[in-house]
Every structure is written in structure tokens, then in C-alpha cells.
Amino acid sequence: MTSLISFLLIISFLIFVHELGHLIAAKWANVKVETFSIGFGPKIFSFFYGETQYSLSLLPLGGYVKMQGENELSDKANKNQNLDIDHERDYNNIPNYKKQIILFAGPLMNLVIPFIFLPIIYFNGIEMPKFLDETPIVGYYKNEFNESFFNKGDMILKINGVNLESWRAISEKKNKFHNRRQAIEIIRNNKIYIINFENDSSEKRYILDEIFPEQSPTVGRIIPQTKASEIGLEKFDIIKEINGTTIFSWYEISQILNNNNKSLFKIKIDRKGEILYKEVVFSGNESKNLLGITPLVEFKNQKLSFFQSINRGFNDSVKFIKLIFNGIMDLLSGLFSSESSLSDIKSSLAGPIAIAKYSGMAAEQGINSLIQFMVVISINLGIINLLPIPLLDGGHIFFNSIEMISRRKINRKFLATANRIGFATLVTLMVFAIYNDIVNL
């Protein structure tokens, strides 16, 4: 029940925000808005405010803003009912640049959501790994370049004369020094050493990315629908060996899974003193062998100041948008790639059932988790709606751009056919996603 309520609240709010963007832009463009609806199907309730009917319908998976002149059939119906029509306020009679603004406004509102809500999370206080504020002492060094810059136990003091008091500071200084020569001051065996790394702007290698704190190979969380969940790994399991190789650090797990050509791995675990063995098989189609586990990390609540929250929220919003955009592009390229397997696509595609499930899980973890989940869904909605698929905002933007460039109207019959194809494509994807959700329940 928690999942259903959370899902309906999140989706309804995000649809409202999206359609509100179209509404505000249409009002700005002086287009007559006949209907503003959240949901489809039978109306639960509706009311008029000014010239616009506002309604809430039974099916919450969508919404629409009905503008005068947008639909020829409804315009004919209005004429038959002797309703007054001001053709100067028709959607089709306004300049194309105003149409573009109206079309962009909905997805834009979804993409603005993270910039508003992420700062609220940080100001309210978030759970952060405790080690981020601890003195950076090397627990593991990723030596994939066959270089020996660091040893276990090295204490990191400075980079290019700038103090590094914590692991957080190491991450924060990356943008400043990742494309420059790096002089790292450390303490090793009670003596101070300087490690010089001759970097250049083309390589942009930040060698402090290659060091990690001490982290035991203890499972903290199992990500649903992954190899780890399939083979029955549990929280607090300690990974002792993989294919006979002893595991001392969490970071060795990924290294062993990906630094050989094997697809079958035998994992020895310690579960509350009992030794168990699990086997996992990777298909070889994955770009990286991932179990789907996160380490057991000690957290602490951290509140940021107002301005710190704004700054952190802005930076993380940009990162989230870039990350999700790249993920969607990878998924789309996979749909048309002969190298992608059906299982890869299925694992990346989530429908309403999966979204409801994850929204319930987020709600159970607290308001911050629920807001973060809402932010992710909002960004997905914003980006997907900008794709040049007929029937979506991006499709309308695409065709409108063609009209702006060619200065000619696109044939209405062609647009109607394109919209039907777009509708069929979206329905097919939705059915596939729902089927995928049911199979993975």
C-alpha cells in the first residue's frame, strides 16, 4: 500500500509540474487554454477558473493541456456548439518561437525540480559516509598502471601545497588539479615524502582517484534484480574468497571480477560465522561484471548551510542530469545495436510496477530518499519528453523546428500518421516494460 500511495503522489505531482509548465507558457503566449487535466479517463472532479476547465481524472499516468486551435476536430465541435472562438488566440496562429517555448516549458519544469528539491535535502540533513571527514590514510591502492606511487598506510597531507584534511577534500580538489602536474605530500613510516606525478592536460589523470580508505569486504546492501540478489547474497555477508583468491579489501572484488576472462566465479562468504559458497555466471555481454552490492559503511547525519545547500544542490543536479541523459542514450543505442542482448535492455527498462516498488522502498527509508527518487524520475520524464518521438513534446518540437527552417507547414495527414506511429511505439514500450516488471516481481 505504501508503494502505491508513494507512486501515485510522485507521478501525480510530476505530471502536474510538467503540465503546469505548458499552462504558464500558453498563458504567457496569450493562447486560450480550454482544459488543464491531470490524468486521463473519467473525471473525478473539475471546475472552471476563468476560461479554463481544471480537472482531475481517474487514470493518473499522464495529463494534458488542451489549447484552442490545437485540435481541428474539437474546434469544429466548438463551432457546432456556437462557442466563441478568437482565432488570434489559436495555438496554430501564434509564431513558431512561441510554440517552441510552450513545448519546451513542460520538460523544462521537470528538469528544474532537482535544482529546487536537492538543496532542501542537504539543508534538512543527509546521511553521509563517516569516512569522508576522516584523515585520508590509504587502505587500498588501485595499481592498474603498474606504478607504485602509494603504499597501504600512507597519510595524505597536501596536493600542490594545498592541505587535504579529509577524503572529502581529496574529491573536492579534483577539478582544480586533474589536468596539472601533481605533487602529493605524504607521511610514510613517520617520514614526509613528496610524490611527483607529471600529468598533462590531455591525460587529465588525477592519481588521488586511485587511492581508497580501508574498507572491509562486508556487504551493506543488495541491489534488486542483480546477480547478487539472484544468488542470495545478504547484508552483513563477508566476501572471503573469489575463485580461490583471498579478499582483504572491498575494492579487490571488482578487480578480480573484471581483470580476467572468466565468466564463472565461485564466491566464498562468511555469514555470521558459517562458511557458504555461491556461484555466479556472467554472460560476457556486459561491459563490466557487477554483482550488485554496496559495502557496509558507517553513516552520519550532516546538515549544510543554506548557501552550501544551494551550491551542492546545483552541482549535483547537473551531475544527475548528465548521468541520466547518458544512461537513456545508452539504452536507446542498445535498442538499435546488434551487440546488445535482450537481457541488457530488460535490465535497464522499468515500468510503472517497478517504479511503484522502488518508490515504496524510498518512502520506507525516509523523506530524503523519497525526494531523491522523485528527482530521478522527474529528470527521466524531462529528458524522455524531449526525445524527437512523435506525440511527445520532443516530437512536436522537432516538427515545429522543421517548419521554422523550411517556412512551410508540414502536411497534417503526415503528422497524424507520425503521431499514430509514435503512439504505437510508446504503447509497445509500456507493455514490454510492464511485462518485464511482472516477470521480475
| Each residue's pLDDT expressed in tens, for the chain with a length of 441 residues | 566 777 788 888 899 999 999 999 999 999 999 999 988 778 888 899 888 999 988 877 788 899 988 765 455 545 544 456 677 788 888 888 999 999 999 999 999 999 999 999 888 888 788 888 899 999 998 877 767 789 999 999 999 999 999 998 998 888 888 778 899 999 999 999 999 988 766 667 888 988 999 999 999 988 877 889 989 999 999 999 999 999 999 989 988 888 777 888 999 999 999 999 999 988 766 667 889 899 998 888 888 889 989 998 998 899 889 888 887 787 777 665 555 555 555 555 565 666 666 666 666 667 778 888 888 889 988 998 998 888 888 988 998 898 888 888 888 888 888 888 887 877 777 777 666 656 665
Q: State the amino acid at position 251 in one-letter form.
A: Y
CA pseudo-torsion sign 376, 378, 383, 387? positive
| 8-state DSSP, 41 | E
C-alpha cell of 71? 485540435
Domains 131-212 and 219-300 share a fold: yes
- Diameter over CA atoms, the chain: 91
Residue type, 123: F
Pairing label, strands 274-281, 264-271: antiparallel
CATH of 131-212, picked from 2.30.42.10, 3.40.630.30, 3.90.1300.10, 1.10.1740.10, is 2.30.42.10
Distance CA 42, CA 56 (A): 9
Pair 321, 113: CB distance under 8 Å: no
CA geometry: angle 70, 75, 78, nearest 5 deg: 140
N- to C-terminal Cα distance for the chain?
16
Burial 203-213 (b: 16+ CB within 10 A, else e): eeebbbebbbb
Q: What is the pLDDT of residues 299-355, one digit of tens each?
A: 888 888 899 899 989 988 998 898 888 877 877 776 655 555 555 555 555 656 666
**For the whole model, what pTM was predicted?**
0.69
- Find residue 264's DSSP bridge partners: 281
Q: Note whether 211 and 174 are within 8 A (CB).
A: no
Residue type, 329: M
Question: How high is the pLDDT of residue 119?
Answer: 92
Nearest to 394, CA basis, from 325, 318, 334, 331: 325
Fold held by 219-300: Pdz3 Domain (2.30.42)
- CA distances 18 to 105, 292, 382, 386, Å, are 8, 33, 8, 12
For 152-231, strand residue ranges (E) read: 155-159, 162-163, 182-188, 191-197, 211-212, 219-222
**What pLDDT is recorded for position 143?**
75
Amino acid at 403: E
pLDDT at 82: 46
Give per-residue pLDDT as tens, 40-98.
778 888 899 888 999 988 877 788 899 988 765 455 545 544 456 677 788 888 888 99
Cell of 365: 527509508
Task: Look up cell 546538515; give the residue.
Answer: 303
CB atoms within 10 A of CB 81: 7
DSSP assigned state of 144: T
Q: What are the boundaries of each domain within the chain?
A: 1-7+94-125+303-441, 131-212, 219-300
**Closest by Cα among 219, 18, 197 to 108:** 18
Give the DSSP H or E segment for 53.
strand 52-67
> What value does the CA radius of gyration of the chain take, rounded to a whole number of Å?
27
* Nearest one of 142, 144, 185 to 164, comparing CA atoms: 185
Whole-number Å distance between alpha carbons of 197 and 199: 6
Beta-ladder partners of 182: 197
